[in-house]
Amino acid sequence: MQPNITKRIIDGDFEVYSFYKYSDIAPLIKTKHRFIGASIYNILAKNSFRKFALAFSTKEDNNRPYALGIDDRVDSGYSHTAILAKALKSKNIKPIFGKLRAKNRVNYSGQTLEYRLSHPRDFKYTFKQDVELILIDDIITTGTTLKEAKNVIEKSGAKALFALTLADAKDA
């Protein structure tokens, strides 16, 4: 299946680009907490994030943004957001790891917007100020996680340029 990039705007003006509809790759996404998920995420990342990285250019060669995975902790032997961020490594994008972690390890899968809003992830950002970042996540559902991450990063003095997700669950 070929990626078909879509764009969603959250938080007023923050752009989130997704490569697939969630419904098109749901069985693949659901492998993320199993051993085989690492291989599946690597294939999906090469077919989408890697191609994006090779086509992405910046205005200035020395102003290369960082790709930052949302809460890239290792679960089930690997981190799915780290796999996606790593696929962006190129002359124009530099992945970084372990710099945005959730203090609250709440699981949002299948939860309502009200639940998500009343149980924030409470992110901690531990990287440089005055840098530009591309946020990375596997799925955008309500946008709650990406909004919270963006706000924490920007309060810390960094700039979130946009987000990339593997799949958009809107209308799923």
- Cα angle 35-32-18, degrees, rounded to a multiple of 5: 145
pLDDT of residue 172: 54
pLDDT digits (tens, 9 = 90+) for 94-123: 999 999 998 877 776 777 778 777 888 889
pLDDT of residue 60: 62
pLDDT of residue 151: 96
Q: Which of the residues in the chain have pLDDT under 50?
A: none
pLDDT of residue 62: 65
pLDDT of residue 75: 74
Cβ neighbors of 169 (< 8 A, separation 6 or more) are 22, 139, 140, 141
In terms of Cα–Cα distance, which of 80, 61, 68 is closest to 125?
A: 68
Terminal Cα distance for the chain, rounded: 17
Q: Is the dihedral of CA 79, 168, 122, 127 positive or negative?
A: positive
- Helix or strand run (H / E) with residue 16: strand 14-21
Structural domains present in the chain: 6-168 (3.40.50)
pLDDT digits (tens, 9 = 90+) for 143-160: 999 999 999 999 999 999
d(CA 33, CA 122): 22
